[in-house]
Structures are given as structure tokens and as C-alpha cells.
Chains A and B, each alone.
Chain A
Amino acid sequence: MKTRSRGAASDWASWMAGACEQARDPRLAGFYGAFPHDPSAPVADLPLIAIDLETTGLDPARHAILSIGLLPFTLSSIRLSDRRHWVLRPPTGMSGESVRFHNITHSDTEQAPTMDEILTDLLTALAGRLPVVHYHPLERRFLQRALEQELRQPLRFPLIDTMELEARRHRRGGLARLRHWLGRPPASLRLNDCRQRYGLPAYGTHHAVLDALATAELLQAQIQHHYDATTPVGELWV
């Protein structure tokens, strides 16, 4: 399997080192300090954490995070009992159009904590683990915005995006060009469609922890099929 050297890898390492020194909030300093930022570390050795957000829409400026699902895992095992799940109360004035879609009702969110109330727990849960998501722009933008509002400092970190790993094969490689030339539609990169290609079962409705589980399993499959345990994490993260 052909892998590409990612220019971003070394950039992330130096950026993270600087961010750690400049962090004013002790929680943020702790987060950066524990972050596994060595790009040459073999992926198999890394503690990982799958993250999935359920949001009321796609625009972080207008929409809110409804729930966060976290699932710590490694390439050899996913322990379901380690999962974390928060339902959040959106800031007033945020649109709630996708509330019903996520099976989260207004009464659920009315009783729920706000982002600043769970921030310490969230950063503790993330500490020392490399995040894994499916479609990183959404997760990254929403997390950044929410945390920056609370911490008054930018929060940026590398992560592995299972959709991006899939796109490397299906949207950019020779295979994709061949499909395009034959007039076939590009391979779907939706979570369940990606899973199907690796013989993983289809899971039910959208839910933060279930999607995090689906993402974690997908990464295990992708690494076994296209990489191996010794692949440096710098080749994988974005």
C-alpha cells in the first residue's frame, strides 16, 4: 500500500510544543502536555479516542453541539464500558432544527449542562489520547469554537479522520481515476458505506457514542487492511 508523507506531521509537532508553553489555562496546558504529538510513534502503541458530536446544524456560528460521545480505544481493543456521553444545553438563541433527527428532545437538553460545566471533564477524558473522528472538519470546527469561547484561547490538535483515510484510497488514487474514467460514481464516504467495505455491520440511528464506536471499529479495519501496527502516526493524522 502506497502511503504519502504528510507535510503536516512535523508542523503539528512544533505547533503543539509552542501551544503548550503559551497555554494560560492550566486545563489547556495539561491537555497539550499530555497529547501524544510524536509523529514517528507507531500507531499501534497509541491510546486513541473516538469522538462524535451531534449538532443542530453544520455551521458552528449558528448551530450548537447537542451531545458528545467519546470512546477511548486502541487498535487491539475497544472497551465499551470506557465510553462517555454528554447531552448539552445549547446557548440560548441557537437553532434547534436537527433536534428531532438526533432523538434528543428539548426536555432532555433543558435539564442538561452547558459546555463550560463539562469542560474540565471533557479535557480530562481526552487527555493523553489521539482523537479519531469521521469527517474532521465538522468535529474540529465545532470543538474549536465551543472551547475557544470558554477558554479564550485557540484549541488545535492533530487527529485521525477515518473519512480522510478512505478518501485517500477512493477519491485520490488511481482507482478513483479509473472509476471516474469509466463514468462510475465516486465511492461513498459515509460512515456506514465505508464500514460495509470492511465487512463491518451496519449500525442503527445516529447517536454520538454509537457513531464513535462505528468510527473506532472502522479505524481498526482500515489499519489492518492498508497499514500496519508500525505505521508512524504522522502518516495518518491531519
Chain B
Amino acid sequence: MDPEILEIRRHLSAYPPFDALDDEWLDQVAEAVEIAYFRAGSQILEASQPIDALYYVRSGAVEVYRRSGDLFDRLGAGGIFGHYGLLRGGRVRYPAVAIEDTLIYRIPAATFDALCDASHEFSDFIELGRPRLETGGGTAGQGSELMSTRVRKLLTREPLIIEAWQSAQTAALRLADEPSAALLVVDQPGDDPRYTYADADGHLWQVQGIVTDADLRSRIIAAGRDHQTPIGEIVHDDLIAVQSDETVQEAMLAMLRHNVAHLVVLHRRRPIGLIQLQDVVRFETRSSLYLIDSILASDSVQALATLKPDVWQSAVRMIDEGADSRTVGTALASIARSFMRRIIELAEAELGPPPVPYAFMVMGSMARGEQTLVTDQDNALVLDDRFDPGADDEYFSRLARRVSDGLDACGYRYCKGDIMATNPRWRQPLAQWQRYFRRWIDDPNPERLLHSNIFFDLDNVHGEERYVESLQALIAENAGNSPRFMAAMARNALNRTPPIGFFRDFVMEKDGRQNNSINVKRRGTAPLTDLIRIHALACGSRAQNSFERLDDIAETQLLGPGVADRLRDALEILSHTRLRHQAIDIQNDRQPDNNIEPENVPSAERAAIKDAFRALSQAQKFLRFRYPMTSDRPARTGRG
């Protein structure tokens, strides 16, 4: 090996996309390189000049500009430019200037073309500006089996099926003969086509639910009912089903979310089995289920608070195992819900039953199922409309206080903006909530927009789910149809913009400034989540999770082809980076935060993060164009 070739090759091989090339190709690239020096301040490429090589920064620094004159990128050693021009017509698209004394390697177009043909990694990087991600998998590698194994792997037998009109005794006899502890109850086809299927003989059935040993004990024997009671009368009405190709992880989360121990597994609409909590626990003994078990078994807030380190530990383990951000976010949200549910149960046990029904709801990241390790509490109480402030508020005020204090003790800090049920404003009957939401949509002003941003991601944690569902429906039906509200929300979503990327150990801003660190929530995930919310509202989606919202958005023509996928990748990259850095903080005994320091970002990840920022920036540009500010009238005042 010639030392001069080795010298060049060694440098190339440290930077993407060349790091993906094998030695033979690296040698060919090094052999073909043309070298040129550029003094600081000199123009390397001028717009529209012919270009016949890919430019690689060996040392020094280069700024690349848009034709408008805006800074597009600042590159240090290992950066490449000129590829846009090479791919499109052989003329320079983005002019480039050396901002330090710079040594450039030119890789001739012929070699560049051969590389694009020979290496998928290389051509993907060139086209996308970053390594291509596995679909939906984020940076997940092998990961835990929980994340990659399909539910159907847990099924060992066909489900035991019983018709709804059979007696409880028949059900008990069937269970006595079998090791299984649950029966699938089916009925004549009814009103829900989602659960209607044809059996092997062509008869149509509708899945009604599951009956377990425990149901027979508590709902027949303990309740003193006749053992001839039709089994359909005691079946749970909330049927929870998963598809057979969902992951064990997703099944586990469904159980946690709905607080059930059994799930029906469907292949399309046909039930092919039942799984229970124990199946999952047997499968993955170290899972966060144990944590949830401990939470639900704790009998005081003090005991709950001791579990805080375990939450961090389990999250760090998931991140280390390569879980994607969606999995970690949902798991953390499930854990938080369990804390909250248990705290409410403990409070109710002390305060007695509530004077009127209520729903304790959460907003923000917890409602979206996108929680991280740095999180504060956003919650509110939706009360039954029979609520009498004079008589009943004392109870709910005390309930709210206990929940809020309890959550703070468990690591979910008080909300600085006072978005908590302890605030009387956020402790209101359903009708008042509906008035709030309508007013926020019909007549937005800065404060109401802020509220819309927080409250329009909402989910029930405890109590009357239907109250929260009616609020979700109100938002989905009204927000997207109000051009003024949408334009105002869009303008709000443009307040926070991403930086360009990283340059050496700095964060590069669009105006050329450099910072030492970046708040990846404020500059990345939050504006991206805001933007996704707006498109979700526009298409009437009722999903709360940003990934699910993107699924709904992708089914419409709202965004250009492939844009939803690009945003999904961007969200995954930014969320994963955020979680990863929080895990680093915890592993180093630091308080986790939302800041990332460029020196902790390996060069292989930088390109991906830079591309995510770019995707966000382009999506913001589209939002500005889609909801122009000129159509926006100033918000009227005086209608409080």
C-alpha cells in the first residue's frame, strides 16, 4: 500500500458515506482524488458553473450557500458538497466558499457515478444526505426480542370459543377441561364489523370478548348469580384485540394501557388465539411490566417515590437495547399512567368515593405517548355536568392536590405553567371544557393558542373515558374547519426553528452563529410535534401519538408524496437523539435534560440529525405557504 494512498484513504474512511465502503473501493477513490488548496475567503464553486467532481473537505472549513444567499451548510473535515449539482445537470447548485484555509479532495464524476452504482449505502447517503434508516426501526439494531417478535409467536393453540348464549356452568366446564384460563365469547353478527368474521363453515360471528376463571368467580359465584346465566351477560364490554403481526411489545403496551390481563389476537378479523399477561412476562422477564406491577402494588406515595430510579433504569436499558423512540416513549407514558392511576386510587381510598363521576386526563407528551426521562405533569379534571361547585369542589380540589404532589414526589415535576387540576380553571365540568375548546378554536389569541397547543393532545388516565373522548371528537370535528384557527396555530408552530446542524463541536445556526449546545426539544421535537398536530387537525385525525398522526396524514393528499415518511424519520431521529442523551446523562450521574452537546454526537449520527433538521425546516416552509399569514385577521379582544 502506497503511504500517500493510505493517508487519503485513512481520512476518507472516518467519514460517511465513505465509512460504508470496502477497502477496495476506498483505494479506488483515493487513487482518483485530485487535490486543491483554497485560501480562506476564496470561492470554491460558483453558482451554475459546470461541475465534474464531488468535493470533499480534507482540512479547513467551507460554507455552502443557497442561491438566495442564505447559508445552507457549514462543513468541516470530512464534509462533502457539490453532489446536488452532479446529480442534477452537472452545474453547481449551491456555491461554496472557503472560510478557513482549506484543502479539498475532488473525486471525479466517473468515480462518483461508479460509487453510486456499486454501493447502496453511498447512493442513499448522497440522495438523502444521510444514511437510510430501516423502515420504522429507527436506529434499532438487534434490540430486544420483545421489540422484534410478533405476537403470533406466543400463541400455542387455537382459542377456546363459546357462544354468548351458553350458560356460565358450560363455560366453567369447558375451562375445567383445559389448561387455558380464558374463553373467547362470540355472538351473532352485530353492529361492529371490525370484529365480525366467518368461521370454517362459513357462519358469521362477532367477537364479543373474553371470559376468564376470575370472571366466573367474581361475577357469578361471588355475585350470587345463577350458574345458568348466559355467559354473554358477564363478558367485559371493552374488547381489546391486537393483530397477530404486531410485536409482543405492542401487545404488552396494550395491556398496560387498558389495564387488562388478556388480549384477543386477530389475523385480520379472525380470532386466532388469546394471550395473557403471564405469556408476555414469561417471554420477557426483565421487562418494565415488573415495574408496573410494583407501582400497582405500592400502598403509599412514599413507596411509589422509591421506584423513581427503577423507571430511569428500565428506560436506559430499553434505549441501550436499541428500542426505537416510539417504543420507549409509549413505555414511559404507560409507566407514568400507572403511577398516576395508583396515586388516584390511593387518594380515593382516603377521600372516599367522588361526589360525581369524573375523568382525570393528561395533556402533552404523556397524552401523545411520547414521554422522555425529563418530564413535567400536565393534567386536568373533567367533571360530570351535575357537578355543584359549592358542594363538590372541596373534594376535587383535594384530589387534585394529592395527585399533583404525588406525581411530583415520583419525579413528574409540577407544571411551571400551572396546567394542573389544582388550578380551578382546569377543574371544570365537561360542558365548561367544551366551551373552552370552542372558544379557543373560534377566537384564537396568543394565550388560547398556547392552551390549544397543550390541551389538544389529551388522553384519559382514570375515570370516565367518554368525557375525554367527547373532547377529542370536538377538536377533531372543529379545529380543521376553522381557517383562522389553523392559520394562527401554523404561525405559532413557526416560532421555534431548527439549527442547520453541527460544525465541529458547535451547533450551527442559520445566521452563521455557533452555540455550544442545543435544546433538542425546543429546536427539534417540539416544533416538529406542533407541525404534525396541525396537519393532523387539518385531516380530522383523532390520533394523539405523532407517529399515528403521521399515519393518518399519509392517507390524505395533505403533504407531498413521501413527506410523511420523511417527517416520521426526522421525528424518530430527533426523539432518539434526545432519549439517547438523557440516557448518557443518567449513566454519568447527571440530571438528564434536553440539551445535546455536539462533542457527544458521533460523526455517523451528525448527518442524520442534520437531515432531520433540514426536513423540519422544509416542512415549516411548507406550513408557512399552506397557511399564509396575510389571511389572518388580528384576534379580536373583549370576548374573553
**Contacts A78-B34, A200-B103; A224 near B39 (Cβ below 8 A):** yes
Q: Which of A165-217 contact B (CB under 8 A)?
A: 198-201, 203-205, 207, 209-210, 213, 216-217
A145 at the B interface (CB under 8 A):
no
A27 CB–B CB distance under 8 Å: no
Distance (Å) between the CB of A219 and the closest chain B CB? 9
* Contact assessment for B4 and A83 in the assembled complex, using a CB-CB cutoff below 8 Å: yes
Question: Is B32 positioned at the interface, with any CB of A under 8 Å from its CB?
Answer: yes
Contact flags (1/0) for B91-132 with A, using CB distance below 8 Å?
A: 000000000111100100000000000000000000000000
Closest CB-CB distance, B361 to chain A, in whole Å? 59
Q: Does B38 contact A (CB under 8 A)?
A: yes
B549 within 8 A of A: no
**Which chain A residues border B154 with CB–CB below 8 Å?**
none
Interface-central residue, B30, B42, B100, B101, by most chain A CB under 10 Å: B101
> Which of B33, B100, B102 contacts A80, CB < 8 Å?
B33
Q: Which residues of chain B come closer than 8 Å to A141, judged between CB atoms?
A: none
Residues of B with C-beta under 8 A to A83: 4
**Chain B residues whose C-beta falls within 8 Å of the C-beta of A217 in the assembled complex:** 35, 37, 103
Bound complex: CA A119 to CA B11 (Å): 35
Determine the distance from Cα of A209 to Cα of B3 in the docked complex, in whole angstroms.
8
Q: Is the interface of B mostly helix, strand, loop or mixed?
A: mixed
Contact A204 B3 (CB under 8 A): yes
Per the CB 8 Å criterion, the residue count for chain A at the interface is 25
Contact present for A210 and B35 (CB under 8 Å): no
The residues of A that contact B6 with a CB separation of less than 8 Å are: 204
Residues of B within 8 A of A78 (CB): 34-36
Taking a contact as CB atoms under 8 Å apart, the answer to whether B36 and A220 are in contact is: yes
State the CA gap A16–B127 with chains docked (Å).
55
Contacts A/B (CB < 8 Å), 12 sampled: A78-B34, A79-B34, A198-B101, A199-B102, A200-B59, A201-B58, A209-B3, A210-B4, A217-B103, A220-B36, A221-B39, A224-B38
Closest chain B CB from A199 CB (angstroms): 3
Within 8 Å CB of B240, what residues of A?
Answer: none
A116 to B2, CA, bound (A): 24
Chain B's nearest CB lies how many Å from the CB of A84?
12
Residues of B within 8 A of A213 (CB): 4, 35
With a cutoff of 8 Å between Cβ atoms, the chain A residues found around residue B39 in the complex are 221, 224-225
Does B7 count as interface, using CB distance less than 8 angstroms? yes
Would you call B31 and A80 a contact (CB within 8 A)? yes
Q: How far is the CA of A224 from the CA of B98 in the complex (A)?
A: 13
B60 in the interface (beta carbon within 8 A): yes
Interface membership of A77, Cβ < 8 A: yes
Q: Interface residues, chain B, CB within 8 Å of chain A?
A: 2-8, 11, 30-40, 42, 58-60, 100-103, 106
Closest Cβ of chain B: how far from A221's Cβ, in Å? 5
Interface majority SS (helix, strand, loop, mixed), chain A: mixed
Q: A78-B35, A199-B101 are in contact. List 16 more A-B contacts (CB 8 A).
A: A77-B34, A80-B31, A80-B33, A80-B34, A80-B35, A199-B40, A199-B59, A199-B60, A199-B102, A200-B37, A209-B2, A217-B35, A217-B37, A220-B36, A224-B39, A224-B42
CA distance A200 to B101 in the complex (A): 8
A5 on interface, CB distance cutoff 8 Å: no
User: Are B59 and A80 closer than 8 Å at their CB atoms?
Assistant: no
B387 to chain A, nearest CB (A): 72
The chain A residue with its CB closest to the CB of B103 is: A200
Any chain B CB within 8 A of the CB of A81?
yes
Residue A85 CB within 8 A of the other chain: yes
**CB atoms of B36 and A76 under 8 A apart:** yes
Closest to B11 in A: A201
Give the contacting residue for B3; candidates A207, A224, A225; CB below 8 A: A207
- A204 to B11 Cα, complex, angstroms: 12
B60 proximity list for chain A (CB < 8 A): 199
| Residue pair A203, B34 in contact (C-beta under 8 Å) | no
A41 to chain B, nearest CB (A): 21
Name, among B5, B6, B36, the residue most crowded by chain A CB atoms within 10 Å (CB to CB). Answer: B36
Q: In the bound complex, do residue B8 and residue A204 qualify as a contact, i.e. CB atoms below 8 Å apart?
A: no
Q: Residue B7 contacts which of A79, A210, A216 (CB distance < 8 angstroms)?
A: A210
Within 8 A of B (CB), among A30-85: 76-81, 83, 85
From known contacts A77-B106, A85-B2, A221-B101, infer whether A203 and B35 are also in contact, taking CB-CB under 8 Å. no
Contacts of A221 in B (CB 8 A): 37, 39, 101
